[in-house]
Structure 1
Amino acid sequence: MDRLRLDKWLWAARFYKTRSLAAQEINKARVEVNGLAAKPARELSVGDLVRLKKEQPAMLVKVIALSAVRGPATVARLLYEETPDSVAARAHAAEQRRLAPEPALAHTEGRPTKRDRRELERARGR
């Protein structure tokens, strides 16, 4: 086998739970092959670069092998290799999220939280 449908490969490589979910994401232009928008029936071959915009930043993987069957995750991981730039970008984004301030701390208006209510009660002497 030297060529395989894109949606079938994404399903076999365990990027999506079903082929129909993979096809929906492809139709929404969240998957690119070699820098171009693709359709679910696009034939994929070994060496193609696939960009998945599932999360921020997008994941860029190189197709290492083709498989028409969905196997265990350890086998699915052998079908692709993430590019070093993609790994670095995702690690940097994870670090930025870790260092970002907690969004709830900036929220000062609206209903008081349980902690705020307890502090108010303590201040009132109850």
Structure 2
Amino acid sequence: MSADGRQRIDKWLFFSRAVKSRSLGAKLAQAGRVRINGDKSSQAADSVKPGDVLTITLERRILVYKVLSCGSRRGPAEEARLLYEDISPAPAPKDALLPDALVPVRDAGSGRPTKRQRRETDRLRGGD
């Protein structure tokens, strides 16, 4: 941690356990998938300070963290949770249907033939 209370974004992501390694944190920052107070991070050396809001885009989710302090090591999860406040929006429920979603309707007999219908068709064509 530097003297003015700032820390590199790749180190902070690693210490807060948002990513598994510091190199993954650096790749995430260089890819522009981390925003610091709304501005895209372009390099791993971008610094964060307490009070900054980070928006981190991962594979299947978006994390929004408010930085509370800078880390000194990658400790246990309880220690990592002290570095940020999670202000992420709640994920949408997976099993909830859209209110205007219609259930698909199919007329009887309009799809693939049943086993019985297939046998009847084979008998008509002369097969066993």
TM-score, normalised with respect to structure 1: 0.69
1:7-42 deviations in Å (ceiling 9; x for gaps): 000000000110000111111111110100112101
Displacement of 1:59 after TM fit? 1.6
1:8-27 to structure 2, matched below 5 A, reads 8-27=11-30
Aligned-residue identity in percent: 38
* Structure with higher helix content: 1
Displacement of 1:57 after TM fit? 4.9
* Match of residue 65 from structure 1: 69
* Structure with the greater alpha carbon radius of gyration: 2
* Match of residue 32 from structure 2: 29
5+ residue gaps in structure 1?
Answer: 101-105, 107-119
5+ residue gaps in structure 2?
Answer: 98-103, 105-114, 120-128
C-alpha distance in structure 1 between counterparts of 2:7 and 2:67, whole Å? 11
Give the RMSD, CA atoms, in angstroms: 2.4
Task: In structure 1, give the amino acid aligned to 2:90.
Answer: R
Displacement of 1:55 after TM fit? 4.4
Report SS of the residue matched to 1:69.
coil
C-alpha distance in structure 2 between counterparts of 1:68 and 1:98, whole Å? 41
Task: Spell out structure 1 runs of 4+ moving beyond 3 A.
Answer: none
